[in-house]
A and B are shown apart, each in its own frame.
Chain A
Amino acid sequence: MQTNTTLQEQRKAPLKRNDPPAVQAILILLTLLFFAIFIFMPLGLVFAEGLRKGVAVYLEAIREPFALSAVKLTLITAAIVVPLNAVFGVTAAWAISKFSFKGKTLLVSLLDLPFAVSPVIAGLIFVLLLGTRTGFGSWLGDHGIKIIFSTPGIVIATLFVTFPFVARELIPLMEAQGREEEEAAITLGARGWQVFSRITLPNIRWGLMYGMILCMARSIGEFGAVSVVSGHIRGMTNTIPLHVEILYSEYNYTASFAVSTILVFLALVTIAIKSLMEKNVHNHQPTQH
């Protein structure tokens, strides 16, 4: 607050000064109220419910083998999905922002499909595509390759629902940066990979990281699409969100909230990484933006 006003004083006279203090107070109060109702209260409730029967019960719920396997599966899924989508996102953003080709507009529109389509439909698409009712699916089954109702299916469904994040983050960034720097590098004799690793990647690194973080958050929390392809085998194909739902429908509320706190922790970690990065952006690139 303090630094903000001093900064603003150095520039032009801030508009905000004209606001009567009452308006300021009301706006701040409303914001705080909104935060209290929609963020702090539910967060507090999750922890309160999880700890209602004591720390011992809480620890038991999150150390129980089914819970651990759900955590493991969720992290494995994120660990596969995030790097793959990072590579895909950079490729797609590169192709779309630096080259012009036929059908580009269509491609850009299609990129949003996973956001537009309901996650349940996304899951069903893969069940229909890779389930045993299609020739391809039954061929896979006959050769002992399990995709749907096992880890690969969950990874594929998560890949699908999260693939626009990185590309969406990078396309405007790369378009804004244009291709002058790369072209200069090429005239100076740099090869393709050199151009990418020395010019392009450093230019987009924060956008890339930010896209990856969004992608990570969504892949950890995805419920709908994963629920359809999971098969709900306890200890094998349940991710954390699915496990929370199962515990809840088994009247195991305390455990269900306890496991939810793992999701909350992961979300908080994600947010922490994000704000750390934003700080970095301000420290290291003061002239950009």
Chain B
Amino acid sequence: MKHFHRHTSRLTAGIALFSSLLGTAAQAAPAANTLLNVSYDPTRELYQAENAAFAGYWKQKTGQTVTINQSHGGSGKQARAVIDGLEADVVTLALAYDIDAIADSKLLATNWQQRLPQNSTPYTSTIVFVVRKGNPKGIRNWDDLVKPGIGVITPNPKTSGGARWNYLAAWGYKQKQTGSAEQAKAFVKAIFKNVPVLDTGARGSTLTFTQRGLGDVLIAWENEAHLILNEFGADKFEIVAPPVSILAEPPVAIVDRNVDKHGTRKLAEAYLNFLYTPQAQEIIAKNSYRPRSAAAAKKYASQFPNIKLFTVKDLFGTWRQAQKTHFSDGGTFDQIYTP
């Protein structure tokens, strides 16, 4: 009995300690100089660098200290979270449709893509292949992906933005070559026959390919491919640039409803505009994304192989149309993919 009372008094002391801890946590509410950037999977390293640069720039310009919080995940999943109430001030996602989806739930204006230069895409990228060192399976072009016995790693187009670019790149390659959407569909179906596992995000697929050692070729963002070589060494993997691929345009936008609620519109606008400045464009190029500014593009030209790039607009119309035809329920992906 006495023993037990001693325990309970310790317990109450513990609870008191924790509730004081809690008090300090409750004060950390979002202030007007804090932004939340909800982004897609492979941009972790890019925004880590951009955020530090912007914080310095903003401090110099206004004297204010700014904190930018990051959240990363599959592009579609992140859009879903913002729609469900994740209070992003800015979204920097893999493709326009995911921001359209957020606009459809009235969180930002539907003309968001006209609000910033170059369709609100401060950088571009493309889709390339990563193979194991020496390219033992001799993969050079999209046609090599459908050969029997080739393991292809790509994430799930339902949840991952990168995977949707991969899908459209393969489809577009065949459609441009043959002029037939039917043949393109059969081609993509043949590729997915060779896919042993679909991860939810690009980073998950990278880990499947590099850490778990599955597959012979990873279809990946160009920036992610460079990151793999940096992290694991060029002695383990190599990049294969196909002759034709897609011009990936990952857009950025302010989430109107959330910035108005937080009082962060000005800061959010400054942050996104900063991405177009020479300083930010340099960081973009250094992280292996293709910069928009001609100066940075010229300076880092040797880093980016010459690939013939087609756009979504060339072959698929708007992203909304592409999404509806290929990735919505009952779209071509549902028709061709049987696990």
Contact segment of B70-78, B137-145, B301-309, B315-323: B70-78
A75-B21, A233-B69 are known contacts. Are A251 and B231 too (CB-CB below 8 A)? Answer: yes
Find residues 137-185 in chain A having any chain B CB closer than 8 Å to their own CB: 137, 141, 144, 146, 148-149, 151
Instruction: Indicate which residue in B71, B83, B87, B203 contacts A133 across the interface (CB closer than 8 Å).
Output: B83
Find residues 250-278 in chain A having any chain B CB closer than 8 Å to their own CB: 250-251
A209 contacts which chain B residues (CB < 8 A)?
Answer: 7
CA distance A176 to B24 in the complex (A): 44
A249-B203, A284-B3 are known contacts. Are A76 and B18 too (CB-CB below 8 A)? Answer: yes
Q: Does B1 make an interface contact (CB < 8 A)?
A: yes
Instruction: Indicate which residue in B15, B19, B207, B261 contacts A249 across the interface (CB closer than 8 Å).
Output: B207
CA distance A72 to B4 in the complex (A): 29
A76-B21, A235-B69 are known contacts. Are A249 and B204 too (CB-CB below 8 A)? Answer: yes
B36 contacts which chain A residues (CB < 8 A)?
Answer: 233
Q: Does B86 make an interface contact (CB < 8 A)?
A: yes
Contact B72 A137 (CB under 8 A): no
Instruction: Indicate which residue in A73, A133, A201 contacts B84 across the interface (CB closer than 8 Å).
Output: A133
Q: Does A282 make an interface contact (CB < 8 A)?
A: no
A97 contacts which chain B residues (CB < 8 A)?
Answer: none
Find residues 60-111 in chain A having any chain B CB closer than 8 Å to their own CB: 72-73, 75-76, 79-80, 83
CB closest chain-B residue, reference A150: B87
Contact A132 B85 (CB under 8 A): yes
Q: Does A232 make an interface contact (CB < 8 A)?
A: yes
CA distance A73 to B1 in the complex (A): 34
Contact B25 A72 (CB under 8 A): yes
Instruction: Indicate which residue in B15, B81, B231 contacts A79 across the interface (CB closer than 8 Å).
Output: B15
CA distance A73 to B26 in the complex (A): 11
How many B residues face the partner with a CB closer than 8 A?
Answer: 33
In the complex, per-residue mask of B1-40: 1 if CB is within 8 Å of any chain A CB, else 0? 1011001000000110011011001001000000010000
Q: Does A202 make an interface contact (CB < 8 A)?
A: yes
A251 contacts which chain B residues (CB < 8 A)?
Answer: 227, 231
Q: What are 21 A-to-B residue pairs whose CB atoms are below 8 Å?
A: A72-B25, A76-B25, A79-B18, A79-B22, A127-B84, A131-B84, A132-B85, A133-B105, A141-B85, A146-B85, A146-B87, A148-B86, A151-B25, A202-B1, A209-B7, A233-B69, A236-B69, A249-B203, A249-B204, A251-B227, A251-B231
A249 contacts which chain B residues (CB < 8 A)?
Answer: 203-204, 207
In the complex, per-residue mask of A197-209: 1 if CB is within 8 Å of any chain B CB, else 0? 0000110010001
CA distance A126 to B19 in the complex (A): 24
Contact B22 A149 (CB under 8 A): no
CB closest chain-B residue, reference A79: B18
CB closest chain-B residue, reference A228: B81
A79-B15, A131-B84 are known contacts. Are A232 and B22 too (CB-CB below 8 A)? Answer: no
Q: Does A234 make an interface contact (CB < 8 A)?
A: yes
Q: Does B59 make an interface contact (CB < 8 A)?
A: no
CB closest chain-A residue, reference B230: A251
Contact B85 A234 (CB under 8 A): no
Q: Does A114 make an interface contact (CB < 8 A)?
A: no
A132 contacts which chain B residues (CB < 8 A)?
Answer: 83-85, 105
CB closest chain-A residue, reference B228: A251
Question: Looking at A72, A75, A83, A132, which has the most chain B CB atoms within 10 Å of its CB?
Answer: A132
A137-B85, A231-B71, A280-B3 given; name 15 further pairs at CB < 8 Å: A72-B21, A79-B15, A79-B18, A127-B84, A131-B85, A148-B85, A149-B87, A231-B86, A232-B72, A233-B69, A233-B86, A234-B69, A235-B69, A248-B207, A251-B227
Contact B70 A80 (CB under 8 A): no
A132-B84, A133-B84, A249-B203 are known contacts. Are A79 and B69 too (CB-CB below 8 A)? Answer: no
Q: Does B44 make an interface contact (CB < 8 A)?
A: yes
A202-B1, A250-B44, A284-B3 are known contacts. Are A233 and B85 too (CB-CB below 8 A)? Answer: no
